[in-house]
Structure 1
Amino acid sequence: MKYWKVFSVLFFFNLCIDILLSNIEHLYYYRYITKPLITISLLLVFYFNSKLKPKKERLSVIIALVFLLIGDIYIIGYHHIFQLWIAMIFFLAANILYAAVFYRSAHFNIDRSIPFIATATITSLTLLYFIYDRLNSFFIPATLYMMVILNMSQAAYLRNKVVNDQSYYAIFLGSLFFLASQSAVAIVKFYSNFPFQQIIIMSCYGLSQYLIIYGLLIEKKKFRRFQKRFN
């Protein structure tokens, strides 16, 4: 991939700046520059390095990143519940697109799926237990959002043996980081603050998107029937 090492240095430098700004109240609104740059930079590097990928798959990822960008802009310093609703809708759509792309390289195996489904169910029920009393009108959207993220992680999990190992582990780990960041956001919004919350949320979010895009760019499908999908 062209300039990936240079991009990585700049990406994580910007991520560190954004995390720093998120913890300094009077500089917080500079995040309208640094946080969108996280997604914009990934969008640009994916666009210029994915020209050989199937058109539909490439377009799906580009649209997913655009949706994440819009969601990021709406959620920075939101003052009205309407902004949070809009951000959730765009993040939800991005996750659906990611899942669609991952499922194109997934092999469904019920024996392999059961441990993941069991772990995901326990994790989601535990989270809902803590935030249930404060969700109010957000209960159904939050539950749906959680199911979509878990579905995206399952799609990433089921890519094993279908794609090269480096791509598989990068994307699966990225999906788990994304799940962690969104779970942390839910705890902050609907339960309680916790130490180093902004550092944890943004570190997990930045790493998740970096690993997902990296995994997609280095992806090599092992079987012909998967190579033909999404053309």
Structure 2
Amino acid sequence: MSMPKEIKYFSILYFLLLLVDIYTKINMSDIPYRYITKTIVLGGLLLFTRYYCYDKNNKTSNYLYYGFILFFIGDILIIDHTNTIRFVASMILFVAGKVCYTLRFKHKEDFSIKRLIPFFIVCFMFLAVVYDFIYHNLKLYFIPVTLYFFISLIMILFAFIRKGVVNNKSYYIVMLGVGVFLFSETTMVIKTFYGDVLYQDFLIMFCYALGQYLIIIGVLFENKKLTENSVILYPKNDK
């Protein structure tokens, strides 16, 4: 069976199981049902990642797998989010998972700061809009939430500067993944510190799972090739 077909079949199964998990979250008790459905959904993606992305001879490529393990444990712990210890532990694991993803996205090529200016402008505008909604309700959570967003944006930055280092298919799938991932987190933050969002439970869960899926699938298509519209600085003798 070819790789594209395997991805296709896995994807169908993954999203069907995800819909079951979302239905369970919205219509049934989290304990014990979500421990079952969420473990099946994310456990399946974890096994998929282990099979296709793990390479015992390549430490850097394994950061994606290690990161997803941390996300997986954090996701199981946060089901019981009313438990303060589990909630804090899950947040720490999520941050550590993002750091692992960032390490997976990094590369050794030099990049142009000028070409990153639009990225920084968009990030600033994004944070300005989000904090306009949530700032007055953050209070003691201002520093933790800010650090959480900062780590997320660093992860997205390293995904962004992959442009020109990997092929376009891998680049855009990963960028879409981290974007959807950030949308899920932003919806959660607005729900927590501002107010309800239309279809919030569905959006948070679906976009989070979709983001993880796209990041992993995108990395599978990774290919070290430079392109003309890269953020990479070419050596002078290559121009």
| TM-score using structure 2 length | 0.86
Moved more, 25-34 or 76-85: 25-34
Which structure exhibits the higher relative contact order, with contacts defined as CA atoms closer than 8 Å and separated by 6 or more residues? 1
2:47 matches 1:49: no
3-state SS of 1:104 partner? coil
Gaps of 5+ in 1: 227-231
Q: Give the one of 13, 16, 23 matched to 1:13.
A: 16
Displacement of 1:28 in angstroms is 6.5
The residue aligned with 1:149 is 152
Displacement of 1:195 in angstroms is 1.6
Q: Give the one of 220, 223, 227 matched to 1:220.
A: 223
Equivalent AA in structure 2 for residue 172 of structure 1: M
Equivalent AA in structure 1 for residue 46 of structure 2: L
The residue aligned with 2:237 is none
3-state SS of 1:160 partner? coil
3-state SS of 1:109 partner? coil
Q: Closer, same or farther in 2 for the Cα pair 1:39/1:106, shift >3 Å?
A: farther
Moved more, 14-23 or 42-51: 42-51
Q: Closer, same or farther in 2 for the Cα pair 1:23/1:106, shift >3 Å?
A: farther
Residue by residue over 1:120-169, the C-alpha shift from the partner in whole angstroms, topping out at 9 and shown as x without a partner, is 11111221221122222221111011011011111111111110111000
Q: Closer, same or farther in 2 for the Cα pair 1:82/1:138, shift >3 Å?
A: farther
Residue pairs, 1:74-113, within 5 angstroms: 74-104=77-107, 108-113=111-116
2:186 matches 1:183: yes
Q: Alignment RMSD, CA only?
A: 2.1
2:162 matches 1:134: no
**Aligned equivalents of 1:183, 1:104: Cα separation in 2:** 27
**Aligned equivalents of 2:183, 2:33: Cα separation in 1:** 25
Displacement of 1:29 in angstroms is 4.0
Equivalent AA in structure 1 for residue 219 of structure 2: L
Give the paired residue count: 224
Q: Give the one of 72, 76, 100 matched to 2:75.
A: 72
**Aligned equivalents of 1:156, 1:85: Cα separation in 2:** 26
Q: Closer, same or farther in 2 for the Cα pair 1:214/1:54, shift >3 Å?
A: farther
3-state SS of 1:76 partner? helix
Residue by residue over 1:10-60, the C-alpha shift from the partner in whole angstroms, topping out at 9 and shown as x without a partner, is 100111111111211446641212223333222211211235586212331
Q: Give the one of 161, 165, 168 matched to 2:164.
A: 161
3-state SS of 1:181 partner? helix
The residue aligned with 1:125 is 128
Instruction: Indicate the percent of aligned positions where both proteins have the same amino acid.
Output: 37
Q: Closer, same or farther in 2 for the Cα pair 1:84/1:51, shift >3 Å?
A: closer
**Aligned equivalents of 2:108, 2:210: Cα separation in 1:** 22
Equivalent AA in structure 2 for residue 57 of structure 1: T
**Aligned equivalents of 1:168, 1:109: Cα separation in 2:** 17
Equivalent AA in structure 1 for residue 169 of structure 2: Q
Given that residues 187 and 197 in structure 2 are in contact (C-alpha distance below 8 angstroms), is that contact kept between their aligned partners in structure 1? no
**Aligned equivalents of 2:18, 2:9: Cα separation in 1:** 14
Gaps of 5+ in 2: 227-231, 233-239
Equivalent AA in structure 1 for residue 23 of structure 2: L
Given that residues 133 and 194 in structure 2 are in contact (C-alpha distance below 8 angstroms), is that contact kept between their aligned partners in structure 1? yes
**Aligned equivalents of 2:112, 2:76: Cα separation in 1:** 38
| TM-score using structure 1 length | 0.89
